[in-house]
Amino acid sequence: MSVSVPTVGVKIDPVMKQRLQRLAKARKRTPHWVMREAIEQYVTREEKREALHQDVLQAWQEYEETGLHVTGDEAIAWLETWGTDGEKEAPKCHA
């Protein structure tokens, strides 16, 4: 059984169309495949970016509510031990 996928029209200028056709030919793909792949990668990247943005907003809200934090110097001192024999545990948050 085949799933019906709606068609979406996208207007692109003639120069972009030529670039798309050249790239598709070089990749031995259709322009349609290249456009779908580009859209998939873009949407995936932007979803991750939006999730990160929401995480940052939540972290800021938690900081405003509790005042708990780690200083930049504390974080750098910890990160500098990564991958060494003396690797330290993450610093504890404090007010």
Residue recorded with tokens 């690797």: 87
CB-neighbour burial class of residue 18 (10 A; exposed 0-12, middle 13-18, buried 19+): exposed
Q: What is the pLDDT of residues 74-92, one digit of tens each?
A: 999 999 999 999 999 999 9
pLDDT digits (tens, 9 = 90+) for 27-56: 999 999 999 999 999 999 999 999 999 999
pTM over 0.85: no
